[in-house]
Structure 1
Amino acid sequence: MAAVPVRICLLGPVAVTDDGRPVDVGGPRARALLARLSLDPGRVVGADELLAAVWEEDLPAAPGNALQALVSRLRRALPDVPVRAAGHGYLLDVAPAAVDATEWEQLLARARQATDPRLVVELLEQAEALWRGPALADLRDLAFTAAPVARWTELRLTATEQRLAAVLTTGSAAAALAELDELVTAHPLREPFCRLQVRALRLLGRPAEALAAYERCRAALAEELGLDPSPELRAEQLAVLRAEPPAPASRPGTALRTPLTSFRGRDDELSAVAALLDGARLVTLLGPGGAGKTRLALEAAHRRAAGVRDGVWWVELAPVADARLLPAAVLSAVGQREGTSLERVPTMVEAGARLQETFSDRRALLVLDNCEHLVAAVAALTDDLLAHCPGLQVLTTSREPLGVPGEAVLPVGPLEVPAPGDEAAADAPVVRLLADRAAAVRPDFAVTAATLPAVLEVCRRLDGMPLALELAAARLRTLSIGQIAARLDDRFALLTGGSRVALPRHQTLRAVVEWSWEALDEREQAVARRLSVFAGGATLDTAEQVCADPGWGRGAVLDAITGLVEKSMLLAVEDPEGGGIRYRMLETIRAWSAEQLTAARERAAVEAAQATWCLAFVDEHDPQLRGPGQLVAMARMRAEHDDLLAVFQRAVAAGDGDLAVHLGARLSWFWQLTGRQVAAGRWVTQALTAPGGPPALRAACRAFSAMGSAEFGNWQDAVPELRRVAELPPEHTHRSAEPLGAVAWAIATVFSGGLRSVEGLELLADHPDPWVVAAAHAMRAQVAENIGQLDGLEADLREAYDAFTRIGDRWGRSLASSALGQLALVDGDSSAAVRWFSGALELSEQLGTDDDTPLMRVRLAQAHALAGDLARAEADIAGVLAELGRDGGGMQLAMAESAAGELALLAGRLADAERWHAQALEHVRDAGSGPPQIEAMVQDGTALTLAARAEALAGADPEAATRLLDEAHRRLTTALRLAVEAAGDMPIAAGVVSALAAVARVGGDPVRAADLLGRASAVRGRRDRGNALANVTEARLQAELGEARFEQLRAAGEAVPREEVLAALGVDPTGGWLPVPLPDGSDPGARAHTRRR
């Protein structure tokens, strides 16, 4: 039986994890099949039983085939989970412990055999922790789940009874009672829970309540079932009546509340609290309202109680409004009011003295909860107690530090919200917390593939704040999770349904924030209001420019920000992009502050100040993107991007063309560098909806807008607009000192087909900005390579590389390096290709431009393959596939899979090649729109694999081989049309023609094959010695025809004009994108994507 790192989870929605990372099992039928097999791990489940479980009465027309296909899909989704055919069915060949339900039952069995009650509690708590919600929650509509669910439900209740009985045995009656109260309410006819409740009350010395609990159970049994209490329950009643004394407590008396809810996601913080208490006598849990400080303190106190000789004492300070009453309130909470008059509250001095007396010789932990409104008084009392009570430790929760010498502060922030696309999102603590609280009000609620996006949206919009999530969960009584997510724009009206027993300021979201707001002084409130305009937070310099009043002193904003941070209204975080400290607001606090900004009638003035700051910022940093300060400028612009974009979009909405165009143009090159080409096109298009803006910058917006349309494949709209940009006055474009205007003209002129040839870019040769000149050389080289005009290509690229090196532009150097590597690959110089591609990859990684690095790594792998190092090449591709697979991949993943297929084909592994190309084609189609030449590449590789399969079958099954070759030819015809008519991509088209040569050779026509290899060179503009599979075809043709005859035939093919080659192969050479008019002067059409580098 295979040992696998995979875990199959049935105690909740069906899920699979691999080394802790969730794995997508597939649709409902795949999950049902997995669940049914997992109920009997390691045992054969008959095909008929599996069909009945998955399809029930609605069997498919060919049941056996349908089941086999479903098993195949499950195997593809879970390659590390062996699903084996055996007998007349299938078995899941995993260890029983790989299934959570089986592990759970094993823990229950061990607990039944254990004699130590503490071990029983430990085992059963481990078992309970395996549950993630209702078992098989997403398959409850299938009949086969009914029996296991019913069995597990009963076992779980029985295990709960056993655990609570053991808890009572250990002397922890108070801890057990709260849970028993809930269980008796939920299961009023389940005698064991009532019996344990009566016992717990008796052990706590509360006989009247114990008898009342017995009576409620007796009455319910009689009314509902007509039964008398069992002898065991009557024995518990008798023990109460006999006044049997409670068992001695296992620990000294404490005053800790028993938690009524699960504790999620604070393991690191719990460890930190424990570590701090090991070394400090005063620890403060510091954080904003609703962050979960109280719950964390309670959990930490419970876990520490066993090691505190004289107990742990909990004091709730929220109800204490008068600082003078603080010592008396603490004295009362620790049970030391004896000896004082009930009519008179002891004075501060009296209460302080009694507290010193109480704790003077004790080793105890005092927990003071919610100190922020009494922070000065709590600081004074704590300092006094610690000075006079050497065995005392104090743990406080507050929104502001106490400021006492020796205080250790632990920040308690929100729970981390998983990033979009995180495979482990469903098991994140913040999601589990929301799911737990939701299940308490709606037992049928479960986090499934359908509900997860809305759950994550709620968690994100509420900053991962536990109290806000609990308020949101309470709304699930009447709203779906999707409806809650949709209504969070009005969060203060929505989140009002807190627990009736919670503190008043914890019952609504508005009350939580208002409590903190009222603790701010006037200047702190003003700065908080004004900071709300920053979507991504702000640096101190930015805040001082935007938030200050004219009459304030120099340090006023810093002082206010310091107060806001100390009072947990602002987060001070290290800025990984821009460096230094950045101040951020939680979204809920920002929403509140924004309300206050509007109410104060300051919004217009503050937003105008922010716009002024934005213009100055982009004017300073955009030019630096094209020089030695590129990395620093990119980091600063990344750090401020959320706010820059928010101001830009506000200008668009207001019809402020001057501001929108200025910002849009200045941000456009940053957007290009950071892989936001499509979004950039959309944004600058919005900027153009209103008139205004500097002419050169408006031209840049128009060019990038049109190129954005092209990214969507919409060249019909893009080309006319690009032509209009190309015809703008020279002083606004290529003769403008503004580099963005010159680049806009170059893009517009080349991509609209307006130049007689690419040499027209010479118009930029004397531009005053050296970066524009370098970009012109690089652009001309790219276009020339794309259309097969290769004369002067290398000279342009080297000039661009040298110029970008002198300027200090890493992006430009990477662009030119990659192109020089591609040229070296075509020339068959693998060592130069490796050198150029490695340099380009290093530069791209320095820039953090993830959009480009996968393609470079694929090309680097191709260079290693050309050098004969297939193992290195396949390792390179495996790394790319792993990275792209984690991020979703899309077209880039398809490209990498196609490259993996080519390497497998070179190594002679046909099955692997077929698998990789099939996956690549599936990803191309899943991606929808995208560069058509990528599908052409995938079809090319698929056809070559079909040809190799046909060659292997030719002797044994000629008819099958012929069918495979026909299919290969059909795919290559499709690929050629995509490459030429849709993309105008001559390098890709040349590769397709080379593949046609391979098909012709396998089909028995080596003469045509040799001619086609020559014609591929005619399409490409030179022989492509970097095409490893074409090199294999060439070697085989030389062996079959003889070297001289082969060279004669290939030379004849090379002499055929490109247009004639393509026309003869049935494609329209005028249909795709070409940047120059055709020889007859006709319009090339230009209607699809160009190749990116």
Structure 2
Amino acid sequence: LRTALRHAIADRDEQEALSLVLSLAWFWQMRDLRAESRIWTKEATELGPDPFAGPTRPAPPLLQRCTDVPPPIGGELLEEARRQAHLCRFAYMDMEMTWWQSPEGQDRLRAITGTYRADLPQACRTPGNIWYFAVVMTGDMERLHELTDISVATCRELGYDWELALILQLRANLLANRSSWAATGITDADEAIELFTRLGDAWGVAEGLSARGEAHEKLGRFAEAGADYRRARELAEDMGAHSQSTILQVRLAQVLIEQGDTEVGERMLWEALEAGRGTANEARPIARMILASRLAGSDRTAEARAQLDLLREEFEGHEVSFFHSMTIGMEAMIDVTERCAQSALAKAVEAAALARDPLAAVIMPHLAGLQLITAARALVLRGRAGDAAVAARLIGAADAALPEGHIHSTMERTWWGEAKAEARAALGDAAYEREYAEGGGLSVGEATALL
């Protein structure tokens, strides 16, 4: 297949290249072959016109897949093939956030969201459903919910069982990011797992179990989350999806740490880092971040800093604001632990600003609040006149910024509790309650401006 792709590109045979790329896209995703997919989608899309450049027009509904017939194809099917190949390329530019936030990048996102609708048959299928990630990058969760609801209804109306399972699994993943939505996410994941099981799609079952595990975890149901992650990991291993298996190992390790089985959880994180050596997938940065948090929380701050240094080296060149917010915020937390108030405050301010990225609202909606809590602890530690009062306001703003029904992790619960106790001790009960209430009326931006 690689030879066929090379020949198609060398011969400038756009249609053959599009057919191969669209046929391989799902396999590349399952095996996490990011570099390969990035190269071939770039080469294939450069053979023809850019369907999202210049004035765009809404895509018409197409019941036929672009790969249902061999090339040559024509008319609207060819136009759709070009759009879908560009969507595949878009999917592997997810780390280039600075470009996406530029005027050119924003124009591109608007072109994609202006071309597709949630009730299009091709938007229910892969890779057409990648258009949802253009909406994700805007951070508009309400619109995202509306669109996925429409796609679910469209799949049911058209009798698309596999596509329905896929959209339900996608929606479950989105809902799992917030405690108040997670129960609905479990319902979606249950139906997706049932459909994928009936259709004999082991990969789909694994993805559905993973989404359900995340929802259970968000609700603090760690035993249920662990069971789902274990089963999903077994399925991923059986299919040879080793990258996905490692990601699931990291998620299971985090659940074990939350349950108090810290020794086993920590060992699994080290094993995941070793297994992923020489590869580039999301398991490594997540494992390093969880490990850094665990090390810092058990007074091994030098080791925690070493993990953050390695994380920065491995993530060099990636432009994801919320991820940089996480790493800088973790450094600020370590500074607080080591009583380096001024350094902690400077880093917490930077981390809070980065956490306001729209993508963070989707993936980690509580991140901005966490950074404000770290800034509050740094202020109390510094101890200048007025610092404790500002700290109490930051705590109030942090609580107000949390998503409805948010359930703290063990680390967050400890960090929030210590921040509140320190500020209250510095101010006294009455003054603390007054400043805290005032902070509750501030946005994250307004609270950050106090610093």
TM-score, normalised relative to structure 2: 0.74
Instruction: Give per-residue Cα distances to partners, 1:14-71, cap 9 Å, x unaligned.
Output: xxxxxxxxxxxxxxxxxxxxxxxxxxxxxxxxxxxxxxxxxxxxxxxxxxxxxxxxxx
Aligned residue among 121, 142, 145 for 1:735: 121
Q: Report SS of the residue matched to 2:404.
A: coil
Query: How far did 1:981 drift?
Result: 2.9
Q: What are the Cα deviations for residues 738-794 of structure 1, in whole angstroms up to 9, with x where unaligned?
A: 933652554556557898442122332232322222222233344456699837444
How far apart, CA to CA, are the structure 2 residues paired with 1:908 and 1:738?
49
Residues 1:896 and 2:287 aligned together: yes
What aligned pairs does 1:62-461 form with structure 2 within 5 A after superposition?
none
Per-residue CA distance 1:877-918 (angstroms, 9 max, x = gap): 22123223x426687544423322211222233333333334
**Which residue matches 1:699?**
83
- Tell me if structure 2 keeps the 8 A contact 1:817–1:839: yes
Larger CA Rg, structure 1 vs 2:
1
Cα deviations across residues 608-646 of structure 1 (Å, max 9, x unaligned)? xxxxxxxxxxxxxxxxxxxxxxxxxxxxxxxxxxxx122
TM-superposition CA deviations, 1:1042-1067 (whole Å, max 9, x none): 9x98997899589658xx22443259
Amino acid at match of 2:237: E
Residues 700 and 1050 of structure 1: is their aligned pair in 2 closer, same or farther, counting only changes over 3 Å? farther
1:861 and 2:291 matched:
no
Aligned partner of 1:912 in structure 2 is 303
Partner Cα separation in structure 2 for residue 907 and residue 1050 of structure 1: 32
1:940 match:
329
User: Residue in 2 aligned with 1:975?
Assistant: 351
- Which string of whole-angstrom CA distances, capped at 9 and with x for unpartnered residues, describes residues 229-267 of structure 1? xxxxxxxxxxxxxxxxxxxxxxxxxxxxxxxxxxxxxxx
Shift in CA distance, 751/931, structure 1 to aligned 2, threshold 3 Å? closer
Alignment partner, residue 761 of structure 1: 148
Contact persistence 1:826–1:1025 (CA under 8 A): yes
Q: What is the rounded CA distance, in whole Å, between the counterparts of 2:221 and 2:435 in structure 1?
A: 21
Distance 1:972 1:781, change over 3 A: farther
Q: Name the structure 2 match of 1:874.
A: 266
SS at match of 2:92: helix
Tell me if the contact between 1:998 and 1:1030 (Cα under 8 Å) persists in the aligned partners: no
Report how far residue 992 of structure 1 moved. Answer: 4.9
Equivalent-residue separation in structure 2 for 1:1045 and 1:864 (angstroms): 40
Shift in Å, 1:806: 3.4
Are 2:247 and 2:282, in contact at CA under 8 Å, matched by a contact in 1?
Answer: no
Whole-Å separation in 1 of the counterparts to 2:88 and 2:373: 40
Give yes or no for contact 2:112–2:134 (8 Å, CA) kept in 1: yes
Deviation readout 1:990-1017 (Å, 9 max, x if unpaired)? 2353243245236436776565455445
Instruction: Output the CA distance in 1 between the equivalents of 2:360 and 2:179.
Output: 10
C-alpha distance 795-965 of structure 1, shift in aligned 2 (>3 A): farther
Which position in structure 2 is the counterpart of 1:803?
A: 195
The residue identity in structure 2 corresponding to 1:646 is T
8 Å Cα contact 1:1006-1:1037 kept in structure 2: no
Say whether the 8 Å CA contact 1:655–1:690 is kept in structure 2: no
**Whole-Å Cα distance in 2 between the matches of residues 1032 and 758 of structure 1?**
33
1:852 aligns to what SS in structure 2?
A: helix
CA distance in 2, matches of 1:756, 1:894: 29
Q: In the alignment, does 2:18 pair up with 1:661?
A: yes
In structure 1, C-alpha distance between the alignment counterparts of 2:434 and 2:203, rounded to whole Å? 43
Matched with 1:996 is 372
Secondary structure at 1:740's aligned position in 2?
coil
* Distance (whole Å) between structure 2 residues aligned to residue 785 and residue 663 of structure 1: 34
- Which one-letter code corresponds to 1:739 in the other structure? R
Which residues in structure 2 correspond to 1:9-24 (within 5 Å)? none
Call closer, same or farther: CA 1:828–1:881 in 2, change over 3 Å. same
Q: Which residue of 2 aligns with 1:48?
A: none
Q: How far did residue 949 of structure 1 move?
A: 0.8
User: Could you tell me which amino acid in structure 1 is paired with residue 407 of structure 2?
Assistant: R
Residue number in structure 1 paired with 2:414: 1032
Deviation at 1:737, TM superposition (A): 10
Distance across 2 between alignment mates of 1:771 and 1:1032: 43
What is the match of residue 225 of structure 2? Answer: 833
- Secondary structure of the corresponding residue to residue 851 of structure 1: helix
Deviation, 1:665, is 0.9
- How far, CA to CA, are the matches of 1:832 and 1:994 in structure 2? 26
Query: Deviations 1:69-120 (Å, cap 9, x if unpaired)?
Result: xxxxxxxxxxxxxxxxxxxxxxxxxxxxxxxxxxxxxxxxxxxxxxxxxxxx
One-letter amino acid of the structure 1 residue matched with residue 146 of structure 2:
E
Shift in alpha-carbon separation, 1:753–1:735, aligned structure 2, 3 A: farther
RMSD of equivalent CA atoms: 4.0
Distance (whole Å) between structure 1 residues aligned to residue 25 and residue 284 of structure 2: 27
Tell me if structure 2 keeps the 8 A contact 1:858–1:876: yes
1:129 matched residue in structure 2: none
* Structure 2 stretches lacking a partner, 5+ long: 50-71, 381-386
Aligned residue identity for 2:48: A
Query: Residues 741 and 848 from structure 1, CA distance in 2 versus in 1: closer, same or farther, beyond 3 angstroms?
Result: closer
* Amino acid paired to 2:367: G
Q: 1:797 and 1:975, CA in 2 relative to 1: closer, same or farther beyond 3 A?
A: farther
The answer to whether the Cα contact below 8 Å between 1:734 and 1:743 also exists between their aligned partners in 2 is: no
Q: 2 CA distance for matches of 1:723 and 1:949?
A: 46
CA contact (8 A) 1:994 1:1013 kept: no
| Counterparts of 1:837 and 1:972, CA distance in 2 | 33
Aligned residue runs from structure 1 range 558-957, under 5 A: 644-688=1-45, 689-690=47-48, 693=73, 694-695=77-78, 696-713=80-97, 714-715=99-100, 716=102, 720-721=107-108, 723-728=110-115, 734-736=120-122, 739-740=125-126, 742-744=128-130, 746-747=132-133, 756-765=143-152, 766-767=154-155, 768-783=159-174, 790=181, 792-884=184-276, 886-887=277-278, 892-924=283-315, 927-929=316-318, 931-950=320-339
Deviating beyond 6 angstroms after TM superposition, the runs of 4 or more aligned structure 1 residues are 752-755, 1044-1051
Q: Distance in 2 between matches of 1:724 and 1:858?
A: 36
In the aligned structure 1, how far is the partner of 2:163 from the partner of 2:39?
24
AA matched with 1:902:
S
- In the alignment, residue 775 of structure 1 is paired with which amino acid? L
2:332 partner letter: A
CA distance in 2 between counterparts of 1:854 and 1:1052 reads 44
Letter in 1 for 2:91: M
Q: Is the 8 A contact 1:702 1:721 kept in 2?
A: no
The alpha carbon displacement at 1:965 in A equals 1.6
CA 1:900–1:761 in 2, change beyond 3 Å: closer, same or farther?
closer
Conserved 8 A contact 1:787-1:984: no
Rounded to whole Å, the distance in 1 between the matches of 2:187 and 2:378 is 40
* Alignment map for 1:506-585 (pairs within 5 Å): none
C-alpha separation between the residues in 2 aligned to 1:710 and 1:987?
A: 13
Alpha carbons of 1:773 and 1:790: their partners in 2 closer, same or farther (altered >3 Å)?
Answer: same
CA contact (8 A) 1:997 1:1008 kept: no
1:1065 aligned to 2:451? Answer: no
How far apart in 1 are the matches of 2:207 and 2:435? 33
Q: May I ask how many residue pairs the two structures share in their alignment?
A: 404
Counterpart code for 2:444 = V
Q: Which has the higher contact order (CA 8 A, sep 6+)?
A: 2
Distance 1:946 1:837 in 2: 34
Greater strand content: 1
